[in-house]
Structure 1
C-alpha cells in the first residue's frame, strides 16, 4: 500500500512537472493541441508504471520502493522530454529540428529525392474559417501524409503549412503523380469540404547533393519557384531545383535589399524615349524609362529588377520616385520654354492603392505641370488580373485630367466586351505584333484590325518597337496615331530631349 501511495504521489508530481513545462511552451505555441498533450501525459504515466512493475529493477538496485519510483520517473523524464523537442505537437510528425537529425543519419545525402509540399493559399482557409479550423485541416493533412504512397523514409512538418518527404530512391514521375493524387483528395472538416492545391518543390539529391542545410535551402528555392509555375494536369504547382538557382537568388536578394539605398546614391536614372505624332511628324510625347547602373553588376535591366521589387512589395517606392523625377524634368522643360507630355508606367498594385493615387494627385497639384501632360501606362495583363480595383484607380486619375494608356495591348487576352468599357485614352500595340509585319499577311491583318477597332472606340493608337522605315510607312497607311521605337529616337536624358526640341528639329504637341 505504501508503494502504491508513493506511486500516486509521484504521478501527481509528473503531471505537475509536465503541466509547468507545457505552460512555458504555451507562451511560444499558443495553438497547442490539448488532446495531444493529454495523450503525451497518459503515455508518460503508463511508461512509468511499466518501469516500476519490473521486478528485476527492484532486485538489481539497492533502493527502497519509493526511491525506485522516483528514480524511474526522473530517468524517464530525462529520456522523453528532449525527444518532444523534435516532435510537432499538432500533427505528431517530426518537426524541422527532428528532420535535421533524421537527415543527418542518412549523410551523405547523395541519393534520393526531397519533396517540399506547401498548401497553396492556405492562409485563405485561416482567414475564412479561423485558426482553430485551420489547425484541424493541418492535423487531417498530417494524418494523411503518414500513409503516403511510395513510403518515404522521412516525413516532417516543417512549419505552418509546409511538409517535407525524403525518399531514399529517385522518385519517378508516376510515383510523384500518385502522391499528388493521394494528397489532393478533399478533406471533410466539420461537414465542410476543403479542396487543396499543392505547391511542390523537388530536389534530386543525385544531382544536387550537399550538407543538410544546403539541400534544404535549395529545396525551398524550388518551392518558391513553383509559385510562379502554371498548374499541371493534376492542378498542382511543381518546380524542380536547377543548378545555379541559389546564386540567382543571392543576386535577386541583393538587388531588392539595395534598391532603396541605390535610389539615394543616384544609381538609378530616368531616360525618355520619343513618341512621334504621325499626323504632323512632330514629337508628341516621351515615355519615361528607368535605368539602374549597379556598382557591382553594371547595368541592370528593368525587366529583371521591376518584377523583383513588385514581388517584394516595394514597387510603389520605385513608381513614386520615377513620377517625382518626371515632374521635376517637366518643370525644367517648362522653364526652358516648352511643354511635353510624358508617359509613366505604374503597376496594378500602384493604381489599386488609394493612398498611392492620392499622393500622386497631391504631388501633381503642387507641381507647375498641367495634369494633361501626365500619361499613366498600365499593362493589359496587369489590368485584367485585378480589373475592378484598377478601374477604380484609373477613373479617379481621369477625373483629375490625367491620361491613361494600356501598354502591351494584345498580350493580356482582354475581350472586346471589356475593351469597349475601358476608361482609357490610348492603346499601345505591343512590339510582338510589329515583328513580321511586312512578311506575314496574317500579322498585317491583325495589326490593321487592331488599329481600326481601337480608333473606332475613340482611342489613340501608338505602336511601339518600330525600328525600320518600311514598317513605319506600313503603320502610317494603317492609320496609327503615334509611333515609338529606335527609328525615331533611343531612350535619352531630359537634357538631350531639350536640346533636340530647342534646336528646332521638332515641335511639341
Structure 2
C-alpha cells in the first residue's frame, strides 16, 4: 500500500528563462538602480520579487489542480475497468510522480504560509482517499472501492478544488498589491530621472507581462495539442453558468485508444491525439470550444445551447469527424468516441455538477455502446438508497433474500402449458419486495451480475427438476445480460448446473437480447455456439427493439424469437403493430424458429396471434408472475380450464 503523505521535492523549470535579447535591458535597469539610494532600490526589488513569486505560486496552483483532475480521471477509468490493469497502474505511477514534483515546487515557493498549508492538507486528504480506492480496486473489492469513492474521495476532491480556488484568489490579491506598491515606489524614488526610469520600468513591465501571459497560457492550455485544458474549462463553465441563455457541455472519450498506445507506442498515441484535436477543432463552429481534459478525454463547451436536439447535432458532427481514418506514419488508424452531454440549468447549476453529469452520460454511452447519450437522472448512481442497495445486494444473494417468480408460456393453439420464464425478485428486509429494474443495473455496475446470474440459473434448474419429479415436463427460461453473454465461462457453469440438478439441457432456454449480441458479436457468437452444443435452447428476447441483428440472426444457432410487448399490446388497435407482429412471425418461421409473443393482455390479442400463426404466448391474460409455491396451484387450475373445452384464457 502506498504512503499518501508524499515527500514533495522541487520540480525544475519553474522560473521563466530570460533570453539574450533582454540582457541589455536588465543591465540598464541595474545601472539605473545604482542611481538611487540603495535602501530604496532594495525595497522596490523586494516588492517586484514578491509580485513575481505570487504569480509563480498561482501557476503552481493551476498545475496542482490539473494533476488533481488527472487523478480524478484515472479514478473514473479504474472504476469503469473494475480494477487496476497494468496500463492504469502505469498511469497511476506517472500521475503520482507528477504530483510529487508539483507539490514540492509549490511548498518551496511559500513554505509555512496559511494557504500553502491548507492546500497541502486538502491534497493529502484527497490523495489518501484515492490511494485507498486504488488499493481496493487492485484487490478486486469493487463494493468497498465505491464506498470510499462516495464518502471519501469525492468529498475530499470537492474540498480540494474549493481550497485551490481560495488560495489562487489570495495570491492574486497579493500579486496586485505588491505590483501596485512597486510601481508607486518606483515613480516616487526615481522622480529625478523620470524619463529614463519610466522607459526602463515600462520595459520591465512588458517583460514581466509577457512572462505572466506565457505562464497563464501554459496553465490554461494543453502542451501537446494546444487546446484549452480543464482549468480553462472550469472558468468557461463558470461564465456559461452565469449566462441566462443556458449552455451545454459535451464530453468525448476515445474508444480503444489504449490499444494504439500499447501496440504502436506513445509516439503514435500522441500524434493521434494531436490529429483528433485538430479535426474536432475544425469541425466546431464559432463560439464552440473544444478542450482536452487529459489522456484521451476531450470536452466541448456550447454557450447558449439549451436544446437536446442541438446537442445531438453537435455529437453527430463530432462522430462524423472521427469516422474517417487517421493517416499516421504510413498507418491508417480508425478511432471512435463515446459522447455524453449535460445541459445548464436542467442537469446542473454549477461547473462541478455539469462535469459530473456529462461524465455519467459519457460512461453510460460507453457501457451501452450507443455512441452518444444525454444525461438522465436515472443514470445517476449517487442516490443514497441506491448506494445502500448496492452494499446490501451481496448479502442478499448470500442470505437467501432473492427469490424467483415464474410467468407461464402456453401454446397459442391448444393452451397447453409449455414452461415458464424465471424472473428474479429481491425481498429486502427493510424496503420489501424490490423489482429487478431497481437492482439488476446495480449488480452490473458493482460486478455482482455474475453471482446473481448463477443464482438465478441454479434456482430455475432446481425448480425445473421439481416440476419434472411431480410429472410436469416443463421448460424454464432465464434471461442472461450482455455481461453474462460475453462470459466465456458461462457454458461451462451451465453444464455443471445441468448435471448437478439432473435436468436435460433441452428444458433450459437462455434468453438474450439483440443489444447483448451487438455488444461484442464475435465473443457473443462463441458463447452462443457453445451453449447450443450443450443442447440448451436459445431465444432472442425483445426482438425488434434493439440494434438490427438480422445480419447475425442467420448465423446464430437460436431456436426462438420473442416479440416485444410494445408491439403485441397495440396490435388490436394499431394496424402498423399488427403488420410488424405478423411479419416477425413469418420471418421467424422462414428461419425455422418458434415465435413467442409476450405482453398478451386480452383474449382478442390471443386470437389475433393464433390467427397469425404465433407458436406460444406469455402475458398477464394468462398469468402474472407467481412464486414457485403458487405456480403449482395455478398449473392445476389451468389444466382443468384447458381440459374443459376451447381455450378462453380466464
Residues 215 and 399 of structure 1: is their aligned pair in 2 closer, same or farther, counting only changes over 3 Å? closer
1:469 counterpart = 2:606: no
User: In structure 1, what is the equivalent of residue 352 of structure 2?
Assistant: 213
**CA distance, structure 2, for counterparts of residue 449 and residue 146 of structure 1:** 46
SS in 1 for 2:252: strand
TM-score by length of structure 1 reads 0.71
User: In structure 2, what is the equivalent of residue 277 of structure 1?
Assistant: 411
Deviations 1:246-295 (A, max 9, x none): 86753666655543344335443210011123465332201101223556
**CA distance, structure 2, for counterparts of residue 107 and residue 414 of structure 1:** 40
After superposition, residues 354-393 of structure 1 pair within 5 angstroms as 354-393=488-527
Q: Comparing both chains, which one has the higher relative contact order based on Cα–Cα distances under 8 Å and sequence gaps of 6 or more?
A: 1
SS in 2 for 1:120: strand
1:44 counterpart = 2:180: no
Residues 443 and 89 of structure 1: is their aligned pair in 2 closer, same or farther, counting only changes over 3 Å? closer
Task: Select 1:344's aligned residue among 478, 481, 485.
Answer: 478
Report the aligned-residue RMSD.
4.9
SS in 2 for 1:480: coil
**CA distance, structure 2, for counterparts of residue 493 and residue 50 of structure 1:** 91
User: Post-superposition shift, 1:465?
Assistant: 1.7
After superposition, residues 438-453 of structure 1 pair within 5 angstroms as 438-439=572-573, 443-444=577-578, 446-453=580-587
User: In structure 2, what is the equivalent of residue 395 of structure 1?
Assistant: 529
5+ residue gaps, structure 1:
1-19, 24-39
User: Post-superposition shift, 1:381?
Assistant: 4.1
Residues 118 and 400 of structure 1: is their aligned pair in 2 closer, same or farther, counting only changes over 3 Å? same
**CA distance, structure 2, for counterparts of residue 195 and residue 398 of structure 1:** 34
User: Post-superposition shift, 1:385?
Assistant: 4.8
User: In structure 2, what is the equivalent of residue 190 of structure 1?
Assistant: 329
User: In structure 2, what is the equivalent of residue 486 of structure 1?
Assistant: 620
Tell me the matched-pair count. 462
After superposition, residues 227-246 of structure 1 pair within 5 angstroms as 237=372, 239=374
For the Cα contact (< 8 Å) 2:572–2:605, is it kept in 1? yes
User: In structure 2, what is the equivalent of residue 134 of structure 1?
Assistant: 269
**CA distance, structure 1, for counterparts of residue 279 and residue 581 of structure 2:** 54
Task: Select 1:159's aligned residue among 294, 297, 301.
Answer: 294
User: Which range moves more in the overlay, 281-290 or 87-96?
Assistant: 87-96
Residues 431 and 372 of structure 1: is their aligned pair in 2 closer, same or farther, counting only changes over 3 Å? same
User: Post-superposition shift, 1:427?
Assistant: 2.7
SS in 2 for 1:361: helix
**CA distance, structure 1, for counterparts of residue 237 and residue 546 of structure 2:** 48
TM-score by length of structure 2 reads 0.57
**CA distance, structure 1, for counterparts of residue 466 and residue 399 of structure 2:** 22
User: Which range moves more in the overlay, 280-289 or 215-224?
Assistant: 215-224
User: In structure 1, what is the equivalent of residue 56 of structure 2?
Assistant: 80
**CA distance, structure 1, for counterparts of residue 564 and residue 415 of structure 2:** 21
**CA distance, structure 2, for counterparts of residue 117 and residue 413 of structure 1:** 24
User: Post-superposition shift, 1:373?
Assistant: 1.9
**CA distance, structure 2, for counterparts of residue 326 and residue 504 of structure 1:** 21
Residues 416 and 72 of structure 1: is their aligned pair in 2 closer, same or farther, counting only changes over 3 Å? closer
5+ residue gaps, structure 2:
1-8, 63-218, 643-650
Which structure is higher in helix share?
2
Deviations 1:182-233 (A, max 9, x none): 99377654355666655555555466664443343244345445658998xx
**CA distance, structure 2, for counterparts of residue 410 and residue 166 of structure 1:** 36
User: Post-superposition shift, 1:361?
Assistant: 1.4
User: Post-superposition shift, 1:52?
Assistant: 5.2
User: Which range moves more in the overlay, 397-406 or 74-83?
Assistant: 74-83
After superposition, residues 51-130 of structure 1 pair within 5 angstroms as 53=27, 54-55=29-30, 56=32, 62=38, 79-80=55-56, 83-84=59-60, 86=62, 87=219, 89-91=223-225, 95-96=229-230, 100=234, 102=235, 109=242, 111=244, 113=247, 115-121=249-255, 122-127=257-262, 129-130=264-265
User: In structure 2, what is the equivalent of residue 150 of structure 1?
Assistant: 286
User: Post-superposition shift, 1:134?
Assistant: 1.7
